[in-house]
Structure 1
Amino acid sequence: MVPNLRVTSRLNCRTIMRKPPNILVFPPSIQGGQAFERLKTLLVSILEPHSYTIYPLKGSECRQSLWMDHTQLLINLESSRSDPDILTRFQSYLRSPEAMLLHLNPEEGLATHLKLDRFSTLMPPSHRLWYPVCLEKVDESVLKDILGQHFGLRLQSGRDSYDANLKGPGYLYASDEVIRLKALNLHDQWGPELSVHDVVRLESPLFNRTAFLRRLQTRYLGRILLFYPVIGSTFEPLERSVGNGVVVMADQQSAGQGRGGNAWLSPPGCLMFSLQLGLDVKSGMVQRVSLIQHLIALALVHAISQLTAPSENSLRLKWPNDIYLGSDTKMGGVLAKSSFCGSEVTVNLGLGFNLDNALPTLSLNSILDHQLSREVVLAEVLNVLEDLLNQLERGQIESLLQLYHRYWLHQDQVVRVKHDASDEISVMIKSIDEFGFLNAERLDTRASLTLHPDGNSFDMFQGLILSKR
């Protein structure tokens, strides 16, 4: 049901899932959006936790083609659709042999428009289903049978019962000297459930403090670390100013955040953490603050390269904030948020990486000869990141960009770019600039251009537009 890719390690070949585990619901606006929320709640209660993300597919997004390569299952809630652009997109999606479509509506409507018989030879019967019942009357047991038996999606078992609101206590890892130096008031910063007396002496069985500190060589990054077995998002404790270099790590996130409001799958075994930088407005880093999100992704890839053999080093950077294995398999991503208050700029950075998770996609440890622990990888990422930030502060931009380009995917890649509302041009990607934007060259005139993403939620690299700077 999903395309396979053969990935070769030094020991063997493994079959992995390439298509992102996304379920799209169209249209999301029925009944004021309540239909989507009701269906999402139902799907979450049926599907295996941490295995799928469920998104609304808006009409404006549906008229483009970006969503097709990022969808494992499309669920349609509308009985009829006369918009020719959307019908064309649906037909294009159905031509793919791995396309899966579920139509939840008692009326024939869209089925007639799409003329399913035309696609019967292209689509295996198991990949399409018209279920003639409106959403309000969908039976959970029947939907579970459709998703599991008909489409082969992973369902919850009895042991998978999952409470998205579950949140355990946090564990603070810091030396007494650091706490006295920072004069931390944990009650004000992280709430009454944490206190210096309680958390400094606690050890979580899910985090090896000794291994982490043995590898950590930073001056400030990670010297204060808050670890949660379960949390909504590691960004939550950083919503206020908590200190320069503070790191928040979790074993599981129930509401992980991706860019553009996207959800981020956070199964156990992933490396998931956020950190906060407090920068003086006069700092050299603030002048190029937009480059910092690229540096944390670079820190992860470069750190892994230092921890593994050269033959295993195939991690690459997909601009602007994704981490790939080779050119096809997404392994991680970065989220950055910044705010300005007085003389300080606060930058919160989040990173999620498939290090040791069993599902739903490939993890790095599954293809390595020697397993890497989260503690060692986290410490090495922080070591590399602090060095990169120091270079940025000193204005050593060329060395940073040289290292970034060593790992990125896009050298001399040709893409179509939006020139104005009705025109596109072909350009060749050359590099990123000192602010993290793309440098490109027009194929027709050889003129130099600066590009930035258009904000689409599926693939930012497929929606580039000319910078207005």
Structure 2
Amino acid sequence: MIGEKLVRVPIIGSTNDFLKENWKLFPHGAVVVADVQTSGRGRFNRTWYSPEGGLWFSILFKPRKNVRPNFYTKLCAVSIVRALKQLKVEAKLKWPNDVYVDGKKLAGILTETVFEEERLGAIIVGIGMNVNNEIPKELKDKATSLKLLVGEEFERLSVLSLILRKINKALRTYSRKSEALTRVWKNMLIQREGQLVCVNVNGERLKGEIVRIEDESITLRVQDKLMRLSSLEIVDC
């Protein structure tokens, strides 16, 4: 049961790093939630501002069979969108796993793995969501919070509990239906096949048509050339 073991800490460097270092001490489904992170991070090792008032947590998965880590990324992303809908917030996903509302980022997901002698030991999904925390002035054009969207403060642990319930339900539904999960995740994406997008790839800016969207890559048509890209960031054109 995801969240049956819940550890709450007032301040920590990173909930992901804590579980990566201590995964053997905790059962499958353990959740670590922090009031403040001092070294939160997102994709491309970017700093994730994690002050008091936000929801910063990580979930420990110890799969018994070979499961691709992105299964859990999609599982959590889909569950967050469904939880937000229950809170009257209509969210979409920016490929692959950022949660957006009205063109602004509300939450992000970072999935990391731990291997032991070439065997997958643990998958850790870190989630950061702006809830009641203030958005820095320099980020107000790009980020939002639940408080800003709804106009009232939320009890953070109640939001966490709702998300965990959605994850548990999705896990029961999709544990043997990964293709169905991928379809649901794809339908929640802002990006669509046939759409023109701009991307950053290793510092190079490209513009092209999305030919195919997969959970770990996007195939773009750039000047009649097909490019299958996995390490990319979708940016404004």
Contact 1:428 1:442 in 2 (8 A): yes
Higher RCO, Cα 8 Å, sep 6+: 2
Question: Which runs of 5 or more structure 2 residues have no equivalent in the other structure?
Answer: none
How far off its partner does 1:225 sit?
0.6
How far off its partner does 1:369 sit?
5.4
1:373 to 136, 155, 161: 155
TM-score by length of 2: 0.80
Give yes or no for the alignment of 1:292 onto 2:72: yes
2:49 to 265, 281, 284: 265
**For residue 190 of structure 2, what is the aligned residue in structure 1?**
409
Q: Distance in 2 between matches of 1:351 and 1:326?
A: 20
Contact 2:13 2:40 in 1 (8 A): yes
How far off its partner does 1:237 sit?
2.8
> Which residue identity lines up with residue 407 of structure 1 in the other structure?
M
Q: Does the C-alpha gap of structure 1 residues 452 and 396 become closer, same or farther in structure 2, counting only changes over 3 Å?
A: closer
Contact 2:199 2:234 in 1 (8 A): no
Q: Does the C-alpha gap of structure 1 residues 416 and 253 become closer, same or farther in structure 2, counting only changes over 3 Å?
A: closer
**For residue 133 of structure 2, what is the aligned residue in structure 1?**
357
SS at match of 1:375: helix
Which string of whole-angstrom CA distances, capped at 9 and with x for unpartnered residues, describes residues 316-337 of structure 1?
Answer: 211123222222x122211111
Higher share in strand = 2
1:442 to 221, 226, 231: 221
Q: Distance in 1 between matches of 2:5 and 2:184?
A: 28
Which string of whole-angstrom CA distances, capped at 9 and with x for unpartnered residues, describes residues 5-43 of structure 1?
Answer: xxxxxxxxxxxxxxxxxxxxxxxxxxxxxxxxxxxxxxx
Contact 1:410 1:429 in 2 (8 A): no
Once the two structures are aligned, what percentage of the paired residues are identical? 29
**For residue 234 of structure 2, what is the aligned residue in structure 1?**
461
**For residue 452 of structure 1, what is the aligned residue in structure 2?**
230
Give yes or no for the alignment of 1:224 onto 2:5: yes
Q: Distance in 2 between matches of 1:442 and 1:331?
A: 30
Matches within 5 A, 1:104-115: none
How far off its partner does 1:441 sit?
5.8
SS at match of 1:235: helix
Contact 2:5 2:29 in 1 (8 A): yes
Q: Does the C-alpha gap of structure 1 residues 416 and 266 become closer, same or farther in structure 2, counting only changes over 3 Å?
A: closer
SS at match of 2:99: strand
Contact 1:232 1:254 in 2 (8 A): yes
> Which residue identity lines up with residue 235 of structure 1 in the other structure?
N
**For residue 253 of structure 1, what is the aligned residue in structure 2?**
37
Which string of whole-angstrom CA distances, capped at 9 and with x for unpartnered residues, describes residues 41-77 of structure 1?
Answer: xxxxxxxxxxxxxxxxxxxxxxxxxxxxxxxxxxxxx
RMSD: 2.9
Matches within 5 A, 1:31-430: 220-238=1-19, 239-240=21-22, 241=24, 242-280=26-64, 282-283=65-66, 286=67, 288-308=68-88, 312-313=89-90, 315-327=91-103, 329-341=104-116, 344-360=120-136, 361=140, 362-368=144-150, 371-398=153-180, 400-411=181-192, 412-415=194-197, 426-430=208-212
